[in-house]
Structure 1
Amino acid sequence: MNSARIDAYLRRLGAARPARPTAGALRELHLLHLRTVPFENLSVHLGEEIVLEEKRLLDKVVDAGRGGFCYELNGVFAVLLTALGFEVTPLAGRVYGDEGRLGIPYDHLALRVRTVDGDEWLADVGFGAHSHYPLAFGERGEQADPGGTFRITGAGPDAAGVRGEDGALAGDLDVLRDGKPEYRLEVRPRVLGDFTAGAWWHSTSPSSHFTQSLVCSRITEDGGRITLSGRTLTVTAADGTREVRELERDEDVLGVYRERFGIGLNCVPTVRNPRNANRNG
């Protein structure tokens, strides 16, 4: 990633180039990413190929002004952070679904980030409604955040290399939001290419929530959230109050994508797999 690409990425975020890869710089970049680069699965329904390669991710997020889902957003964020001097390790996660069941292997991509001071953080700009700031990776108590109260806890048995009844391996971590488990992380380092099968499954399988619904969502400047799910526009204020509006005209839908998310489309996306599903956002 050359200097011009770094500058273009930072302009997209509205961020200055940090002098050093500090925790403060990471916090700022993390929040700005959530405000400016939407969590969206439009490619799944527009028939666009999802390729987990550095150049393709930069082309989409930086040059085309688009967003993406976890593999794309955390994948491209890792590229930026690495270029800025942070030490970044991709981690594989499995998302908790109905009745506490875990999703497929490589269900989610999150980032373990080490700053110049040696502190480690869990950065995640690709989970939809989640923490606004990175979470302290080694902290096991509650962590207050505008997005909720988070906690990272051990999930595996005590004996290294032994799996528990739920498949957890020693060292696995559960990430909880407001007391509810969101996803389980493996601490083994991964590379972006490891997530290709997970991205393919989520973008093609009839059982994937990403093929069953449309979502485009980001944090607003006041700490709330704006989400467009199909034709339903939901604006949530920082205090939790919601305004929900159905958009009947195509031009209104396209206008919201353009004006509120910076995404220019020629046609309104429609769900290819209409089974009802909801996640994040």
Structure 2
Amino acid sequence: MTSDRAADHGPQPAPGIDLDAYLARIGWSGERRPTAQVLRSVHRAHLLGIPFENLDPVLGSAPSLALADLEAKLVRGGRGGYCYEHNTLFAAALTALGFRITLLCARVVVGAAPGDVRPRTHMLMLAGVPGEPTPYLADVGFGSAGSLLEPIPLVAGAELHDSPRHHRLVNTPHDGPLEQWELQARTADGSWESQYAFTLEPFEAPDYEVINWHIATNPRSPFSHRVYAQRTTPNSHLSLSGRTLTVTAQDGTREERELADGAEVLSVLTAGFGIRLPEGTRLPE
């Protein structure tokens, strides 16, 4: 099958992760074997353990995707990151645990107007489990209440009740030689909302370096000038966009409030999102 070949022969992240430190950071202490159960468990632990945030671009720099720098920031530094940081780190950890990793890139479609074609800017991956013919879509870097809590098998029509969330994978039509996949999330009203679309073309680390630079430094990129933060907890999902703080409960109900100023934003990032801010951090006006 095409998906199995992709999982077997895709680009592999560089070795060398401090697996002990990473697993301690996400609070995971299970048996280190490349099984589907371990994949689901580590995936959920990462989502609960490390927040999503884009402070580096807002403060004027493109974050490094070097593994040592990611460990210093996300593992030891008490920080979070955005998709390239999260998924580069996660892919290295899964590789160290014995999973086969194929790196992919998706077009984010949630919130897009009909007919809009967005660039492929979101990093995700396939994780192959030894002995299983079908890989799993894994993604710990999609900063949204619609993101996967656990990986989902790469099977058309597959549904995942990653409680309290509910996802499915479908094939969608498009112009191109490769079949297109779409991740959808169930909304509070019972409808399916498209999150992102992707093909199984493998991507390499230098591809993400280019995309990362564009997203972090392009003045038209919202990530370069607006604070975004996400934190998933066992009971809720916290989202910060600019000064708008949204708390989504397990039943889908939402509460929003506007923060007063940059000082309150920094306070909420520390107290609510668990982000250890660099000393002297000040947000641009």
Q: TM-score range by the shorter chain?
A: 0.7 to 0.9
Please tell me whether residue 264 in structure 1 is matched to residue 276 in structure 2.
Answer: yes
Match of 1:103 in 2: 118
| Displacement after TM superposition at 1:87 (Å) | 1.0
| Displacement after TM superposition at 1:172 (Å) | 2.6
Task: Give the SS at the match of 1:198.
Answer: helix
Q: How does 1:1-281 map to 2 (within 5 A)?
A: 1-2=15-16, 5-96=18-109, 97-105=112-120, 107-118=121-132, 119-129=134-144, 130-146=147-163, 148-155=165-172, 164=175, 168-178=176-186, 179-222=192-235, 224-248=236-260, 252-265=264-277, 266-270=280-284
Change (3 A) 1:241 1:193: same
RMSD: 2.3
Structure 2 unpaired stretches of 5+: 1-14, 187-191
Identity %: 36
Deviations 1:163-209 (A, max 9, x none): x2xxx432232222233322121202222221122111111223323
How far, CA to CA, are the matches of 1:113 and 1:154 in structure 2? 19
Change (3 A) 1:153 1:43: same
How far, CA to CA, are the matches of 1:2 and 1:41 in structure 2? 25
TM, length-normalised to structure 1: 0.83
Match of 1:275 in 2: none
* Count of matched residue positions in the alignment of Structure 1 and Structure 2: 259
| Displacement after TM superposition at 1:234 (Å) | 2.1
| Displacement after TM superposition at 1:81 (Å) | 0.7
The amino acid that maps onto 1:25 is V
| Displacement after TM superposition at 1:269 (Å) | 2.6
Q: Answer yes or no: is the 8 Å Cα contact 1:230–1:269 preserved in 2.
A: no
Structure 1 unpaired stretches of 5+: 158-163, 272-281
Q: Answer yes or no: is the 8 Å Cα contact 1:94–1:185 preserved in 2.
A: yes
How far, CA to CA, are the matches of 1:148 and 1:17 in structure 2? 23
Greater Cα offset, 202-211 or 67-76: 202-211
TM, length-normalised to structure 2: 0.82
| Displacement after TM superposition at 1:17 (Å) | 4.6
The amino acid that maps onto 1:49 is A
| Displacement after TM superposition at 1:249 (Å) | 6.0
| Displacement after TM superposition at 1:214 (Å) | 1.2
